[in-house]
Amino acid sequence: MPILEVKQLTKIYEGRVAHKALDNMQFAVGRGEFVGIMGPSGSGKTTLLNVIATIDEPTSGEIRINGRNPHALGKRETALFRRRELGFVFQHFNLLDSLTVEENIVLPLSLDGASVEEMERKVRQTADKLGIAGILGKRTYEISGGQMQRTAIARALIHKPSLILADEPTGNLDSKASTEVMEQLRALHTEEAATILMVTHDAVAASYCGRVIFIKDGKIYNEIYRGESRQAFFQRIIDMLSLLGGRPA
């Protein structure tokens, strides 16, 4: 069974002029896959991620995560489901300034009422994996952008979610920090078999994925698989983006 199934998903924003942001979209993501989503500005990428994250409701169709439809759950259950099954990594990191790196990472566990011993053990493990064990006591304004994003990734991972959703995780980073973050995501994917769905405008970041789905006008336009070297995949991504047209945003 796939971790994520998107079935005939349509999202219409009602307004003075109704807008179909997602148009009968259908795909699946298997356990341990690292999938990129690319497409021009306004093609529906964030809408798709928000519907999968249960931040937004579909107009028709459905999504399933581990076989369950989170939109069919009540409010309390949805909140629990989101916390247990999903990990989020955003462009703006969403870290809390008043907390240390360690306190930020541990947040999902403390919400779930884990014991102090368990939290400490998991923080060490996760921080080691992401190379941030040395900065656990620092506050977020004392660390670099790349370290912030790795902290955000550690927080998204610490409860071993079924699915990690990332919206432009390298959007605010310079190229060196982007490379570090992508190497870490790639390592998590290969070593931990983490399942990752990542929206990105960056062809270099996308070339770390095993598959890239291209969307246009709320529909799937095409998808390509990595297979060979990252360099060759990068070139095929660039070619597909120019076919796709539109403003790359």
Q: Is 210 in the site for ligand ATP (CB under 6 A)?
A: no
What contacts 83, CB < 8 A, 6 or more positions away? 108, 111, 112, 159
CA 116, CA 128: separation in Å to the nearest integer? 18
List 2, 32, 42, 61, residue binding ligand ATP (CB under 6 A): 42
Helix (H) or strand (E) holding 216: strand 211-216
Span interacting with ligand ATP, options 25-33, 45-53, 57-65, 84-92, rule CB under 6 A:
45-53
If contact means CB under 5 to 8 A according to the sort of partner, which of ligand ATP, Mg ion, none does residue 67 touch? none
Q: Is 144 in the site for ligand ATP (CB under 6 A)?
A: no
Count of alpha carbons within 13 angstroms of residue 140, beta-carbon side:
18
Residue number with CB closer to ligand ATP (46 or 69): 46
List 1, 15, 74, 242, residue binding ligand ATP (CB under 6 A): 15
CA 53, CA 49: separation in Å to the nearest integer? 6
Span interacting with ligand ATP, options 34-42, 121-129, 206-214, 237-245, rule CB under 6 A:
34-42
CA 203, CA 193: separation in Å to the nearest integer? 23
Beta bridge partners of 222: 214
List 35, 36, 47, 101, residue binding ligand ATP (CB under 6 A): 47
List 10, 24, 46, 172, residue binding Mg ion (CB under 5 A): 46
Is residue 222 a contact partner of residue 27, using CB atoms and an 8 Å limit?
no
Helix (H) or strand (E) holding 135: none
Q: Say how many residues touch Mg ion, by CB under 5 A.
A: 2
Q: Is 50 in the site for Mg ion (CB under 5 A)?
A: no
Task: Provide the binding-site residues for ligand ATP, judged by CB under 6 A.
Answer: 13, 15, 19, 21, 39, 41-47, 249
